[in-house]
Amino acid sequence: MITTSRHTNPLPPLQIGDHTLPVPIIQGGMGVRVSAHGLAAAVANEGGVGLIATVALSLASKHYKKGKDYYKANVKALEDEFDLARKISPNGLIGTNCMVAIKDFETMVKTSIACEADMIVCGAGLPLRLPEYASARPKTALLPIVSSLRAAKLLTKRWLKLYKRRPDAFVFEDPNTAGGHLGVSRDELFKPVHSADSVVPQLAEWSKKEYNDEIPIITAGGIWDRKDIDHAFDLGAKGVQMASRFLCTHECDAHENFKNSFLTATPDDIVIVDSPAGLPGRALQTPFTKTLFSDGEVDKKCFATCLDHCSCREEDITFCIARALHNSQQGRKDDGLIFTGTNAVRHDRIMHVREIFDEIQNGESAPN
């Protein structure tokens, strides 16, 4: 049963840099190719911001043939995704998610700029040189992902000193609920001090006091319905980033096998894996993770040297994360890793993106 939250008015618009979001929702970037042109354009058409995840984008493209093609193919694949997204959503806000920890981070940012991305969201490390890489297009909003007030202060101070530019917004991802790579160590997971309830008010108070609220705080992780958004606003956030909520949509760019994995999943199927990138990651239990946890044989062959630091490539002790994420996106769950947030097990059907926006705008809260 769907219930109505205490607010029934549509969500207010949000200004981020030069861009006005009709609906203050950013679709989180999900790689590999889980959020590509199809999902990004659908979200943009509903008034949110659609993000194309740039990591290993080429793997399912016509441009990638073998290892040495990887980096050039990533550029061409991103250009293709922007072209396709713009055809579906010519007037919507389309951006990218660029991981700091990937070797072609600079190239992916500059390609995003060349494609006239409206926004660039960066996580998996602090994007210390992002304004430099994005300098050719000041209109593109720059949104770093942070896990603490300390990180936000450090980054803002550095950007102002070196580039005379401050972040257009900060995205805070709650590591206790978010999917994918998490911003704290495994030992620090699930501690209340790292939660949105703790950190978002700190960020919001700092933004208001130091910058007159001109650096809006976007909260992510565990955002599912209008009730969650209302709570985020109560904490001081001006907008939200949602990723797992869009996994089971017709427009999501992943294989149907990938989407159907969530329809029968339970909370016990959410697991924490150790990524070759050196970060913990939240994922859905699959045959691949069961093999991983039982010390079974998994594919350790590094084919693209995609990460700056990778325990698979450097120490031969774990799996190739690009290959594992690509396999799941292609529907090969036996050999695939499915990153997800804690709420993804609430999916009970495949929906359209428009249905999700309608539900949220009407003030409805989805069933648990």
pLDDT band (50, 70, 90) for residue 69: confident
What's the predicted TM-score (pTM) here? Answer: 0.92
DSSP 263-324: TT--GGGEEEEE-TTSSEEEEE--HHHHHHHTT-------SS--BSS-HHHHH--S--HHHH
Cβ burial of 350 (10 Å; 0-12, 13-18, 19+) is middle
* Digit-coded pLDDT (tens) for 107-155: 999 999 999 999 999 988 899 999 999 999 999 999 999 999 999 999 9
Domains of the chain in start order, with CATH, are 8-255+349-363 (3.20.20.70), 258-339 (no CATH)
Q: Which pLDDT tens digit goes with each residue over 209-236?
A: 999 989 999 999 999 999 999 999 999 9
Does the structure show a pLDDT above 60 at 289?
Answer: yes
pLDDT of residue 271: 94
Which amino acid, one-letter code, is at 75?
V
**Cα of 220 vs its chain's centroid, Å:** 9
pLDDT tier for residue 298 given thresholds of 50, 70 and 90: low
Question: What are the structure tokens assigned to 240, written together?
Answer: 């939200």
pLDDT tens across 159-201, in order?
999 999 999 999 999 999 998 888 888 888 889 999 999 999 9
